[in-house]
Structure 1
Amino acid sequence: MTGRLRGNHSALTAIALGLSSVTVVSVGLAMFALIEDGQLAALFAVAAVLLDVFKYLAWPTALQLAGDGRSACAAMMIACALVLAGVSGWATYDRMMSSIIGSRAQQQAVQQQRIADLEQARAADLQLSAQLTAEASSIRAQAEAMRSRGMFTRALELESRALPRIAEQRDQARQRLDATSRELTELRAAAPKAAGLPLELATLLCIGFALALEVVPALILSAVRRQPVQQVAELGKPGPAPRRNRRAIRIISRASAARTVAA
């Protein structure tokens, strides 16, 4: 039973540390985003990380101080933890919200620009195809005029030189038009990131996630820290006196009675 409890405490502690690392990274990134100077940003990021770690350790320590009767110190530590939790929660919310809005805006901008470029290329290919068709018609008309004047060889040479080249260019333009049409269809049908998530719901989601990252690790660490203290206190109490075995008492009393009779 004790081994199972220790395993649960280890698992809960690992979960708390993993969750708290998210806010630690968020606070560090927030310092780098707010401060332009790299050295000052690194200095304040290290300080913010240490304060964020202290924030989670402050809750179980404050509970222990309150149990020892030092209520003033416990209240001050809880106040500091709440202030740091507000700063850390804001940093986590800002990172998440900025990432959601920025990724959506970037995807929409890239998609719109790509659609504009593809439409421009498609218009150019359509124009080229029309020009090639007109050129092929002109060459056929010239060849017919040459044949009407009896220049069959020159008409055949003209068609053999120009018409295969025009046909090849038209095939290439048609292939580009097909590829452009498929890509345009995919881009117009593709939904942006978090398309079904309104801005208000995204805001509530970020706030709830940031709040959970602040509360859950503190609760886990407080519960894990409080449990060993209670176990130690219970182990320090004197246990109940062992009950005497009535059968053993009877055997001892009979043996002593037999010795008395023999004497």
Structure 2
Amino acid sequence: MTAPFRGSHAALTAIALGLSSVTVVSVGLAMFALIEDRQLAALFALAAVLLDVFKYLAWPTALQLAGDGRRACAAMMIACALVLAGVSGWATFDRMMSSIIGSRAQQQAVQQQRIADLEQARAADLQLTAQLAAEVASIRAQAEAMRNRGMVTRALELEDAALPRIADQREQARQRLDTASIELTALRAAAPKAAGLPLELATLLCIGFALALEVVPALILSAVRRKPQEDELGKSAPAARRDRRTLRIISRASAPRTVSVTA
């Protein structure tokens, strides 16, 4: 086998191992989440991981057994691999669907709660702004009444003491209203995760992805393992022919020669 073929087989094997690690982790996490006792959960999760690794190795091994004529063992191994593939596919599908639905629901809940809090804060700031405006009008009316009675100094002191404080409070309320308006606009314009993906399409996507994770690594490992065996068989055949040719030459050379004697 040439170097490019070896490199392609190594790359395919690495891809198969990377894809199979996804289902291995999914099965381990699913088994760990099903059992309450952490020690038993870790034990059965390790067993599930080893079984999932065996599942991928079972396909090329079954092909080799079938090629050697051991069809019963190959059929049993394929049956075990199919059962394990069903369990692994369910675990991968469940993890993906739970993540999609959970993340979408969490985002919507957080977004709705934040919008409600901001609207409540805006209402409070608007009410405060109205109260401050009424307070300014009342202070100005009191100051005007003092001026009418000739208490100009008292009117100025009242306005100097109250109006700057009210102006600061109104400015702070206005800034909070502006910030809340910008955040509300961003929250209402933000689309939830996978907003354009209906639940039925998400289900089909998860099923297809889980199926691909089961089929593709098995096919790659079966093809990569079968190719070196074919190459070895192809190399052994010319060697056997050369050995047989050598034996014929040796047998001919060692055969007794008969010399005809003429009278």
Question: Residue by residue, what CA displacement relative to the aligned partner does 1:159-214 show, whole Å, maximum 9, x if unpaired?
Answer: 00000000010000000001001111110110000000000000000000000000
Distance in 2 separating the partners of 1:116 and 1:206: 34
Task: Give the Cα separation in 2 of the matches to 1:168 and 1:68.
Answer: 90
Q: Is 1:157 equivalent to 2:153 in the alignment?
A: no
The gaps in structure 1 that reach 5 residues or longer are 243-263
Q: Give TM-score scaled by structure 2 length.
A: 0.90
Aligned residue number for residue 126 of structure 1 = 126
SS of the residue corresponding to residue 36 of structure 1 reads: coil
- What pairs up with 1:1-263 in 2 under 5 angstroms? 2-238=2-238
> 1:32, CA displacement in angstroms?
1.7
Percent identity between matched residues is 85
Q: Which amino acid aligns with 1:6?
A: R
SS at match of 1:238: helix
Question: Counterpart of 1:46 in structure 2: which amino acid?
Answer: L
Deviation by residue 1:87-122 (Cα, 9 ceiling, x = unmatched): 000000000000000000000000000000000000
Residue 180 of structure 1 aligns with an amino acid whose one-letter code is: A
Displacement of 1:33 in angstroms is: 1.6
* Residue segments in structure 2 that go unaligned for 5+ positions in a row: 243-263
TM-score, normalisation: structure 1:
0.90
Matched residue type, 1:235 = K
Q: Distance in 2 between matches of 1:200 and 1:78?
A: 31
Q: Which amino acid aligns with 1:196?
A: G
Q: Secondary structure at the match of 2:197?
A: coil
Q: Count matched residues.
A: 242
2:213 corresponds to which letter in structure 1? Answer: L
Whole-Å separation in 2 of the counterparts to 1:148 and 1:22: 85
* 3-state secondary structure, aligned to 1:219: helix
Instruction: Show structure 1 runs of 4+ deviating over 2 A.
Output: 238-242
Q: Which amino acid aligns with 2:105?
A: A
Q: Which residue of 1 aligns with 2:248?
A: none
* Residue matched to 2:255: none
Instruction: Give the alignment's Cα RMSD to 1 decimal.
Output: 1.2
Shift of 1:240: 9.9
C-alpha separation between the residues in 1 aligned to 2:191 and 2:12?
39
> In structure 2, what is the Cα distance between the partners aligned to 1:167 and 1:32?
61
